[in-house]
């Protein structure tokens, strides 16, 4: 379970994108539950991740990247 954001191309054609992903980093109890029970942390207010100034307040950890193949008309 992870969140990510990337810019979509506006020019037509096939595009390959790499979208960096991240997830919220909780306290030690939440991380233990996540590791043992497989529970994922979710943002209580997803709109907090939309603005750059609010996003810097979040404690997060990197989760890798997703490769996307898009066809734009």
Residue 50 has what pLDDT? 59
pLDDT in tens, 35-72: 787 666 667 666 655 555 666 677 788 889 999 999 99
Q: What are phi and psi of 30, to 5 degrees?
A: -65, -40
Number of domains in the chain: 1
pLDDT in tens, 12-36: 999 999 999 988 877 777 777 777 8
Domain extent at residue 39: 3-72
Give the pLDDT band of residue 9 (cuts 50, 70, 90): very high
């Amino acid at each position: 379970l992870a969140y990510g954001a990337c810019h979509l191309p506006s020019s037509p054609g096939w595009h390959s994108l790499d979208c960096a992903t991240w997830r919220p980093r909780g306290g030690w109890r939440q991380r233990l539950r996540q590791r043992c029970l497989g529970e994922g942390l979710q943002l209580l207010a997803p709109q907090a991740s939309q603005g750059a100034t609010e996003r810097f307040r979040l404690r997060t950890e990197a989760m890798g990247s997703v490769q996307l193949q898009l066809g734009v008309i």
